[in-house]
Structure 1
Amino acid sequence: MVSPSHKKRQCPSTLTAFEHHVSQCNTILLFFWESYVFSDRDFDDGVLGLAWVGAPSGSSGGICEKSKLYSDGKRKSLNTGIITVQNYASHVPPKVSHITFAHEVGHNFGSPHDSGIECTPGESKLQDKKERGNYIMYARATSGDKLNNNKFSICSIRNISAVLTKKRDDCFVESGQPICGNGLVEEGEECDCGYSDQCKDVCCYSANEGEGKKCKLKPGKICSPSQGPCCTAECAFKGPNDKCRVESECAQEGKCNGATALCPTSEPKPNHTSCHSETQVCLNGVCSGSICEKYGLEVCTCASEEGKDEAAELCHVCCMEKMNPSTCSSSGSEKWAMFFNKKVTTLQPGSPCNDFKGYCDVFMRCRLVDADGPLARLKKAIFNAELYENIAEWIVAHWWAVLLMGIALIMLMAGFIKICSVHTPSSNPKLPPPKPLPGTVQHISLYLHVRSHLPTVYQEIYMLIRVQRILC
């Protein structure tokens, strides 16, 4: 939401522009409850998004967080987040991006990651609970097609409710009308091409026009390209059968009908048509089902077990008989040879693996997701009790080595003090004066003597040579 008195101020729409105008945008973000950047960059360790976590009080970041002055002298707003649509060099499915966005917004609203049996049913040993999947705020991977994947858990609802109760009166206002200038044709608008510095549309009045004109079609114009792809730049509908949407793996190309600016819904391809490099199938025009469904099976994840090396299979497409997890096997196994002819079908990079504990990379290795992040890993490494126990055990077993190292360290320090003490000045008048470092005085006196007998240019060259030798 944006304050009505600041509706005409626009943040840059591209990352490059954002970098050039970051100071201006930090000020503008004060008037928004939240702002997000969508990226096409591949982050490390399977990270799909980042966001500041909100709290009822005493928190920097999250919804309604106002800008603050930081140590670098700049005001910054932490009511922000970032989402990427790439994971291990592969674009993630739209449904996963939608859930990732909801996940990061959940952080901004004050929800940490789900934990405990009640809020992580996907980790349950009971098959009926496991089948429903985990909720939006689950810390690790998600496939996006489980029953719970697009819902907030009761744990998240409790945390979000606490933040909303505290902050709802600070920055939320009821939206009474559409926002002309956001590029979306909303209720009461005929078109929306943005503000005058953005609008290249000759069919539509920009948002800078007067109240009776803005976001309205200009006289004599039938449509505007802002309404949809089936309107030409000359403000007329495209002819029937003009292409408006390219063919996809699961849907035919879209064609205009000559009567509207919107592109009609594309005809879906038959269900169970293979897609996503033969790892999934089409369902109702969307590549959303597993290739296992094509053969009457259910998809499962080949999870690693104690004492069993299954690392090579973690990124295989695995199938099982319906409601029978004990039959879960790789597509290349003998069990499913009748369907896959013993041909291994691998998951696409960025796909969840090892029972949703990680993501497959481009080398078909399952990279586990550390939900705590690098700072928590460093904390565990430094303050891990097991680490200190291991060190203590090593000292007890190798006491003689510790003793020798201690003696060597003491001798090294004593020798250093002895050598340097003769060159260290002292305020005690009874002690002899400090000795100069070997060669230093002779080098300098020789330099002064020779320099006085050389021409000016050669003096400077000689000076550089001597200084270099003295330092080295």
Structure 2
Amino acid sequence: RHFNLRMKRDTSLFTEDFKIEISGETVDYDTSHIYTGELYGEKGTLSHGSVIDGRFEGFIKTHRGTFYVEPTERYLKGRALPFHSVIYHEEDIYYPHKYGAQGGCADHSVFERMKKYQNSAVKEPTPQETIEEHKDHDSPVILRKRRAAQADKNTCQLYIQTDHLFYKYYTTREAVIAQISSHVKAIDTIYQTTDFRGIQNISFMVKRIRINTTHDEKVPSNPFRFPNIGVEKFLELNSEQNHDDYCLAYVFTDRDFDDGVLGLAWVGAPAGSAGGICEKSKLYSDGKKKSLNTGIITVQNYGSHVPPKVSHITFAHEVGHNFGSPHDSGIECTPGESKTLDQKEKGNYIMYARATSGDKLNNNRFSICSIRNISQVLEKKRNNCFVESGQPICGNGLVEQGEQCDCGYSDQCGDECCYNANEPEDKKCKLKEGKLCRKLSTFCSPSQGPCCTPQCTYKPSKEKCRDDSDCAYEGKCDGKTAMCPTSKPKTNFTACNRNTQVCING
């Protein structure tokens, strides 16, 4: 069939204060290669992916199932072919490990060890936590008000790290970011369309990405540098970092873990044990401080690449653990094990213990068992770290509606022209006009864009602010604004993508 996609740049998956680190160095990065849209003329469809070197990679959800588009070299390496991409339907996925006794999540004994560790926290509650508990106990009216106030706090902000093996597989930072975006969009679609007993529109945004490239393979500061790390140890290495600033923190890798394990995460609970969404760093009985709002996933299984569909469901599954759901059990919540054919054909739900193919009716849904558990954790914990989506936030490093500039908080701001977010309400995120004795229209803040100097003046026209690409010339400042103007497109029919395609309108 012919796919007519209408897509536009998608920044909704990244927070306003989105930061990216490459090999430990924070860099300015443009996510303009990430797109979301739909099939033209077909309402209710969804397309998401990236355009890198003129090639689209991603997924297309139609009324007849989901199609996936990937580069040919991912499956047909070292062969000269007359086409650059493969497209296939989700039902075409042959994944021999998905129905086996092994593969997917870790076995019961691993979770028992993890549960025991979660109950070993020795950190005493802070005075504020004690006050909150007292309020909850004595003031039911206040508690009801708090629940009403948190109704719009529905966004879980993520920190995603990738190790050098993940980078080695995908080869470029653009491709790595595209994979992260694709995974987050996939789970965002699932969670947003699930009603967790009245709690709706749960969404995800990436707040920070750290990419460990192949140059970090032997760098001592890279905790994931070792080639042979078991899945439990790999999760522990992630948990040993402080992730207090995030709802959840994940590491993506390309490792072949024992027993076909695709992912592992700490299970959240409404109360009584540590772990899951919004969990803060604590001291545990082994003398280590850990953040248990963490998880890991791998895109390799038994020596083979995991198809995107399976990997997306794996991510949704592990995040489901963080949200408070154990593995599905019982007749009601494991229909794929049913002896009744029509029930069996619908397949198992997301939180089934083993990896599913993703093409069955229930594979992309949460069971009633999961919804019951997750809703309890969301009710109790989301107010601790979930945020309102789409609201301007002074201090996030992005200039939004109502702000003149945004250089972050006092410990982050190195900007001579902008009041930081710790300043009084009437000053923060405003330009320091009086200090520089210039008119507001003649100076800028580097937080506004790459065409502003640290001395708060516009860079001269013709100064480079964006690299050229196959189909567009390098971007140049115009001397009138801090933003980098749109790049001029190269002539139509200019050869691109290793001379396999041509450019049209940039």
Is TM-score (shorter-chain normalized) higher than 0.5?
no
> Which protein shows a greater Rg?
1
TM-score range (shorter-chain normalised) is: 0.3 to 0.5
Q: Tell me which protein shows more strand as a share of its residues.
A: 2
More relative contact order, 1 or 2 (CA 8 Å, 6+ apart): 2
Q: Structure 2 length as normaliser, TM-score?
A: 0.39
